[in-house]
Amino acid sequence: MLQYLKELVTMDSEQTREILALMDKSLEASAIKYLESIPQLQLSYLEKILQKRGSETHIDDDLLVLHIQLLCKLDPKRVSDQDH
């Protein structure tokens, strides 16, 4: 399954996340690691995970740190300091 991950996330990162979550929750971490060479897809996939979990469940600190790192690298305007 992971060998097709790039194509699946490109087509629909939300659906891919749902499929992996249904199959085996541990695949989520493998998928994030597998997408390291494609940071834009990794960010897209990670954002779907974070959106789905929302504020009602615990989100691993490593995921949050990775998300912020990817945002800083790929979309810094989303993490820049706003005027107060």
User: Mind listing the pLDDT tens digit of every residue in the chain (84 residues)?
Assistant: 678 888 999 999 889 888 888 888 788 888 899 999 999 999 999 998 888 877 667 778 898 999 999 999 999 998 876 654
Q: Return the pLDDT at 12.
A: 92
Q: What is the pLDDT of residue 56?
A: 64
Spell out the domain ranges in the chain. Answer: 2-78
pTM higher than 0.85 = no
Could you give the CA distance from residue 53 to residue 3 in angstroms, rounded to a whole number? 25
Q: Check: CB of residue 63 under 8 Å from CB of residue 50.
A: yes
Residue of 44, 52, 46 lying closest to 11 (CA atoms)? 44
